[in-house]
């Protein structure tokens, strides 16, 4: 790519990160304190690439991760994030077994072949299945029917999964085995998607194809809608983030849990992560408020020893020493941010924390030396903040931006004619009581001890779907890259030029002296 040589006058004002940040070593800066200078460009926003490598085994197609918070990321959010090319980190404020099944839901979501479809048995009643659909929020109502040995007995079609038939046994209502379309594992060949696609072309009106082995045991299920979505994906600019088995990527948070004696509960942590790995988790995040600490270091070291191939995300830190410590313990990806989050009160309660952009500069330089990557965690409220974060970090973690989406857990509340969803800090009293106390260094099992909350419970106005929120954010990132003349994210990091802005300039940067009528979003 042809680039113009820097103009000396520009260089006097618009500085590279290594010239800019050290010149402000006596002050903490955050997103709104700086702006980026435009640079000569031959790049159209729509042609920019947003893939990012966080670790050898962890690559995303967009640099955005949804936060491991109990009002942000469960399986629905993680599926939406991965389908858009990003990643969701499933929170840990739930029983470990439930977290395992949330991960399974993501890993089993849309694939060419659903390897572990939800099955029913002939002796169940349709009413039980209706209850399950409601309780487990299934978005489908057709189920393979298998007998006690796992052999295919038929298909329970959505046409009969109705309250009217609740008292009937599945055996009376199923489509019999002989009428169910199946294919054997061997017949799938080397390109199962193409094979299934061909089948659906040849059988108009049939939406399910079941896979069986030589003994007629069920081994999977193709659905027409999945195959169509996969075909559509092939043409999409930002492809879903998938593993080598074509399953969606999924991360999960783990806690540095302590036992009754206050020691790290090694057995419990190892058993939990073993379960996550068995379900195909792509990364675990040791998520705490203070990552530069003994317990977090020991947890990361133990996980790195036991699961050397599993990408480990750890944090949070805001210092070079914190990065070096976690990298030496075996972390691959390090979360940066102490107190920037929209629901955080750490800086007010504890008096500590570093404005986010300064923290990102310091940690990014330490990370480079240690060959680890960093995530800008918290404080992102607009796409411009993401562009600024990506001048230093490999990806961002967002909580508040996604908390109002329908894919976030929680009910919609109506207040004064407006619709809201709950959004709470993992260090808020309510969240710590639900399990996240260890993240903030408090003993969860000790109700007598007063917890000092470091986060608030809040509401977010209901927002559009994750697809639409991400489309806006990605559009903004791509515009920023166009202005910087950067075709990809690594060029964003080398080309960015910064200048400090004043409060008057911050005012100038937002709509002013007008009555805002439409936001354009």
Query: What are the residues binding ligand XMP (CB under 6 A)?
Result: 67, 69, 316, 337, 339, 341-344, 346, 377-380, 397-400, 425-428, 454-455
Other Cβ atoms less than 10 A from the Cβ of 275: the count is: 17
Other Cβ atoms less than 10 A from the Cβ of 418: the count is: 10
Which residue in 70, 95, 68, 88 sits closest to 282, CA to CA? 88
Using CA atoms, how far residue 155 sits from 41, 120, 205, in Å, is 57, 9, 15
Nearer residue to ligand XMP within complex by CB, 295 or 379: 379
Q: How far is the CB of 342 from ligand XMP (least distance, A)?
A: 4
Q: How far is the CB of 461 from ligand XMP (least distance, A)?
A: 14
For the question of residue 398 being annotated catalytic, the response is no
Let me know: does 153 contact 146? Beta carbons within 8 Å. yes
Q: How far is the CB of 463 from ligand XMP (least distance, A)?
A: 13
Let me know: does 89 contact 429? Beta carbons within 8 Å. no
Burial class (CB in 10 A: 0-12, 13-18, 19+), 137: exposed
Q: How far is the CB of 379 from ligand XMP (least distance, A)?
A: 5
Residue whose CB is nearest to ligand XMP in the complex, by number: 455
SS3 category, 281: coil
Nearer residue to ligand XMP within complex by CB, 407 or 454: 454
CA torsion 460-461-464-470 (nearest 10°) is: -40
The Cα 69–Cα 232 span in angstroms is 31
For the question of residue 168 being annotated catalytic, the response is no
Residues with Cβ within 8 Å of 116's Cβ and at least 6 positions away in sequence, in order, are 104, 108, 220
Nearer residue to ligand XMP within complex by CB, 425 or 482: 425
Using CA atoms, how far residue 271 sits from 61, 239, 250, 257, 358, in Å, is 31, 33, 19, 12, 38
Nearer residue to ligand XMP within complex by CB, 173 or 331: 331
Q: At which residue do the structure tokens 């640079």 appear? A: 39
The active-site residue out of 105, 439, 495, 497 is 439
The active-site residue out of 250, 344, 398, 405 is 344
- State yes or no: cis peptide before 520, omega within 30 of 0: no
Nearer residue to ligand XMP within complex by CB, 282 or 377: 377
The Cα 232–Cα 354 span in angstroms is 43
CA torsion 420-421-426-430 (nearest 10°) is: 90
The Cα 348–Cα 451 span in angstroms is 15
Nearer residue to ligand XMP within complex by CB, 39 or 367: 367
Nearer residue to ligand XMP within complex by CB, 320 or 452: 452
Tell me which residues are annotated as active site.
344, 439
């Amino acid at each position: 790519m042809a680039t113009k040589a820097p103009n000396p006058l520009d260089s006097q004002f618009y500085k590279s990160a290594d010239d800019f940040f050290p010149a402000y070593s006596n002050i903490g800066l955050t997103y709104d304190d700086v702006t980026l200078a435009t640079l000569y460009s031959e790049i159209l926003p729509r042609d920019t690439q947003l893939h990012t490598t966080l670790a050898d085994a962890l690559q995303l197609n967009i640099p955005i991760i949804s936060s491991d918070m109990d009002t942000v990321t469960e399986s629905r959010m993680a599926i939406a994030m991965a389908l858009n090319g990003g990643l969701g980190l499933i929170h840990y404020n739930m029983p470990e077994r439930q977290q395992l099944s949330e991960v399974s839901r993501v890993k089993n979501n849309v694939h060419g072949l659903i390897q572990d479809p939800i099955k029913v048995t002939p002796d169940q009643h349709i009413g039980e299945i209706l209850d399950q659909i409601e309780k487990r929020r299934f978005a489908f109502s057709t189920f393979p029917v298998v007998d006690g040995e796992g052999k295919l007995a038929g298909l329970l079609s959505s046409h009969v999964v109705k309250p009217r038939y609740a008292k009937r046994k599945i055996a009376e209502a199923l489509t019999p085995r002989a009428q169910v379309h199946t294919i054997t594992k061997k017949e799938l060949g080397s390109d199962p998607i193409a094979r299934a696609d061909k089948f659906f072309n040849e059988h108009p009106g049939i939406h399910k194809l079941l896979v069986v082995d030589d003994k007629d045991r069920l081994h999977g299920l193709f659905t027409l809608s999945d195959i169509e979505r996969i075909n559509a994906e092939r043409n999409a600019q930002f492809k879903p983030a998938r593993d080598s088995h074509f399953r969606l990527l999924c991360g999960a948070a783990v806690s540095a849990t302590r036992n009754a004696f206050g020691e790290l509960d090694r057995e419990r942590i190892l058993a939990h992560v073993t379960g996550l790995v068995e379900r195909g988790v792509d990364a675990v995040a040791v998520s705490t408020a203070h990552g530069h600490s003994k317990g977090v270091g020991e947890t990361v070291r133990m996980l790195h020893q036991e699961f050397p191939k599993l990408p480990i995300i750890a944090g949070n830190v805001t210092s070079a020493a914190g990065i070096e410590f976690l990298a030496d313990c075996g972390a691959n990806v390090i979360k940066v941010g102490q107190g920037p989050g929209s629901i955080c009160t750490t800086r007010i309660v504890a008096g500590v924390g570093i404005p986010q952009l300064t923290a990102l500069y310091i940690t990014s330089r330490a990370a480079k030396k240690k060959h680890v990557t960093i995530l800008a965690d918290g404080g992102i409220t607009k796409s411009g903040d993401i562009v600024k974060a990506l001048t230093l970090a490999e990806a961002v973690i967002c909580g508040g931006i996604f908390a109002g989406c329908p894919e976030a857990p929680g009910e919609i509340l109506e207040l004064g004619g407006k619709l809201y969803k709950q959004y709470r800090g993992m260090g808020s009293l309510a969240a710590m009581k639900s399990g996240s106390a260890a993240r903030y260094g408090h003993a969860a099992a000790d109700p007598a001890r007063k917890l000092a909350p470091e986060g608030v419970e809040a509401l977010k106005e209901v927002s559009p779907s994750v697809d639409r929120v991400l489309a806006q954010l990605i559009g903004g990132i791509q515009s920023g890259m166009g202005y910087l003349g950067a075709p990809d994210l690594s060029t964003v990091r080398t080309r960015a030029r910064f200048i400090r802005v004043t409060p008057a300039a911050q005012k100038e940067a937002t709509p002013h002296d007008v009555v805002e009528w439409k936001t354009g979003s």
